[in-house]
């Protein structure tokens, strides 16, 4: 395989050009060697680019914002440091296998996100360019934190969600604070979904600290980041496992508004809850912190409703963006609800639907693809 008057390493199986005569993305049979004309670098074994914190679950989603930022820094550094006479080549494995597909899917997503943010391509154009590198069965479908196949959530959906977020200023490469993003996760298990407006957080009572100290630290963070309201979606879901919920006065006595909008763990919000949450966010003069028990399912679903209604995300774009901000957000069934009620959410507020009806609708509309590795494939 050749490009211009130079020849690729013999291990390169297919390629696409991201920046003319400078930046390429290729699939390889095995690790290629650098030459006077090519500088190759792979990302398959750098799991800091993944950002998944659920090592004990089968979750698979797009890279988180920290991974995306690290990848952008890596590629930009290569473009700056590698002599202009050399072509810079990002490579990923072309081998077949469960983990190989996972690595390849991540590399494709990261290159697409780079093209959107750093090369000003549309998500559609970036995807169509990269799509030449793979067949549909050569990438690993996304699936939720419970191991359920993601409901109609594709690579393109995630790239469109990222493109939408970039256009709205939710992600700005030059302003992104990697240390703050990771410290927020470590210290408080929180992530900003709409910077300065909406954050998702796990129940602060779950943190393994002395209660008074924990809430004091969180209130200090809230003051520093202009968080004026807290919306709690859980209550005594499992008293034996979790104990009693915290007293709302932990916040209200310190000038932070608190709203209880309970709905069932793993469930879907009612019309009344969506309407009230939208009003709370719209009227809040600062930021709103939203939590359920883990800050993933119920929290992600309600925040997605707001993204769909107020920022005109599609359901898939909203879920994709949420999983970049906070991996594990929104279950497959909850995504089905968002898609089923997307138009109604955008136009007003959706009528309530039962989980049974939703399950039937999901069976009719879901893309069926196997995510289970064959017996001869190893899962690390």
Residue 7's contacts (CB-CB under 8 Å, 6 or more residues apart) are: 1
Judge whether 252 and 258 are in contact, CB under 8 Å.
Answer: yes
Half-sphere exposure of 116 (CA within 13 A, CB side): 28
User: Rounded to whole angstroms, how far apart are CA atoms 173 and 106?
Assistant: 19
Cα of first residue to Cα of last residue in the chain, in angstroms, is 33
Helix (H) or strand (E) holding 88: strand 87-93
- CA-based nearest residue to 162, from 148, 151, 172: 172
Q: How many CB atoms lie within 10 A of CB 172?
A: 11
CA of 280: how far to CAs of 143, 147, 254, in Å?
31, 33, 18
Beta strand 287-291 with 198-201: parallel, antiparallel or unpaired? parallel
Asked if 293 and 201 touch (Cβ cutoff 8 Å), the reply is no
Q: CB–CB of 322/348 below 8 Å?
A: no
What's the token pair of residue 125? Answer: 């154009």
Element (H, E) at 199: strand 198-201
73 among known catalytic residues = no
The DSSP 8-state label assigned to residue 174 in this structure reads G
Residue 6: enclosing H or E segment and its boundaries? strand 6-7
List the catalytic residue out of 292, 305, 325, 336. Answer: 292
Query: By the 8 A CB rule, do 296 and 145 touch?
Result: yes
- Counting Cα atoms < 13 Å in the Cβ hemisphere of 205 gives 18
DSSP, res 204: G
Catalytic residue set: 292
């Amino acid at each position: 395989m050749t490009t211009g008057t130079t020849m690729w390493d013999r291990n390169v199986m297919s390629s696409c050009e991201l920046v003319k005569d400078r930046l390429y993305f290729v699939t390889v049979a095995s690790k290629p060697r650098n030459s006077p004309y090519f500088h190759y670098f792979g990302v398959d074994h750098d799991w800091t680019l993944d950002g998944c914190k659920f090592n004990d679950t089968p979750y698979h989603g797009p890279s988180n914002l920290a991974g995306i930022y690290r990848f952008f820094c890596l590629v930009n550094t290569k473009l700056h440091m590698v002599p202009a006479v050399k072509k810079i080549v990002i490579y990923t494995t072309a081998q077949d296998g469960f983990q190989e597909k996972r690595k390849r899917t991540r590399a494709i997503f990261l290159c697409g996100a780079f093209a959107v943010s750093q090369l000003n391509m549309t998500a559609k154009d970036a995807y169509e360019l990269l799509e030449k590198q793979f067949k549909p069965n050569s990438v690993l479908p996304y699936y939720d934190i419970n191991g359920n196949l993601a409901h109609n959530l594709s690579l393109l959906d995630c790239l469109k969600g990222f493109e939408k977020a970039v256009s709205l200023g939710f992600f700005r490469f030059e302003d992104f604070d990697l240390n703050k993003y990771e410290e927020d996760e470590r210290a408080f298990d929180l992530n900003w979904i709409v910077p300065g407006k909406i954050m998702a957080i796990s129940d602060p009572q779950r943190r393994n600290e002395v209660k008074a100290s924990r809430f004091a630290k969180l209130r200090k963070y809230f003051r520093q980041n202009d968080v004026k309201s807290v919306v709690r979606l859980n209550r005594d879901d499992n008293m034996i496992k979790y104990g009693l919920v915290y007293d709302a006065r932990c916040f209200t006595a310190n000038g932070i508004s608190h709203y209880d909008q309970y709905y069932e763990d793993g469930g879907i919000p009612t019309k009344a809850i969506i309407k009230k949450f939208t009003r709370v966010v719209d009227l809040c003069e600062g930021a709103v912190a939203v939590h359920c028990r883990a800050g993933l399912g119920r929290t992600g679903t309600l925040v997605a409703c707001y993204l769909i209604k107020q920022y005109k995300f599609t359901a898939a774009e909203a879920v994709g963006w949420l999983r970049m901000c906070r991996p594990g957000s929104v279950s497959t069934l909850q995504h089905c609800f968002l898609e089923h009620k997307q138009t109604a959410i955008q136009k007003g507020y959706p009528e309530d639907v039962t989980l049974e009806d939703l399950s039937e609708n999901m069976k009719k509309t879901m893309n069926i693809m196997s995510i289970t590795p064959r017996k001869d494939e190893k899962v690390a």
